[in-house]
Amino acid sequence: MGSSKETEPGLDRRDYPRLNASFKVRFGICGGQGREVPGFTNDVSLGGISFVSPDTAAQVGDHLAVEIAVPGFDEPLYFLGEVLRVREDPAGTEIACRFDWLGKSDRYKDKLQKLLGAHVHA
């Protein structure tokens, strides 16, 4: 039998708590033509990010390079991620992206963890 997360309807099945916040983001499709696109986050967690962009060609399965500008941080956070969902939103296109944690992004993961720890209580 699966865990209660898997079996009880209506439960949030995410592995990490989310911070519902609007931060500026810029992203580009890896292997694309180098075009960076702006947007704003809906929410962010250690597992991934949901953001809205007024102009994107991102599709499910694309790999993105994502930059998140967090007020009070000395530099933006940089992540690689895979697009899991794309849907229309009144403000543009909503993109849900799972982070691909690689060794080089560990310091950004640590910073994100501190941000979430300061604002999210599981």
pLDDT tens, position by position, 44-70: 998 899 999 987 888 999 999 999 999
Please check whether residue 7 lies inside any domain of the structure: no
Structure tokens at 102: 């690689």
In one-letter notation, the amino acid at residue 71 is P
Per-residue pLDDT band at 1 (split at 50, 70, 90): very low
Please check whether residue 4 lies inside any domain of the structure: no
Q: What is the per-residue pLDDT for 84?
A: 96
Higher pLDDT, 110 or 65: 65
Q: What is the per-residue pLDDT for 9?
A: 40
Task: Provide mean pLDDT across the span 63-87.
Answer: 91
Nearest to 84 by CA among 12, 14, 11: 14
Count of structural domains, the chain: 1
Please check whether residue 39 lies inside any domain of the structure: yes
Please check whether residue 2 lies inside any domain of the structure: no
Q: Which domain holds residue 20?
A: 14-119
Q: What is the CATH number of the domain that holds 57?
A: 2.40.10.220
Q: What are phi and psi of 28, to 5 degrees?
A: -140, 150
Pairwise CA distance, residues 103 & 16, whole Å: 20
Please check whether residue 27 lies inside any domain of the structure: yes
Q: What is the dihedral of CA 56, 60, 63, 68, to 10 degrees?
A: 50
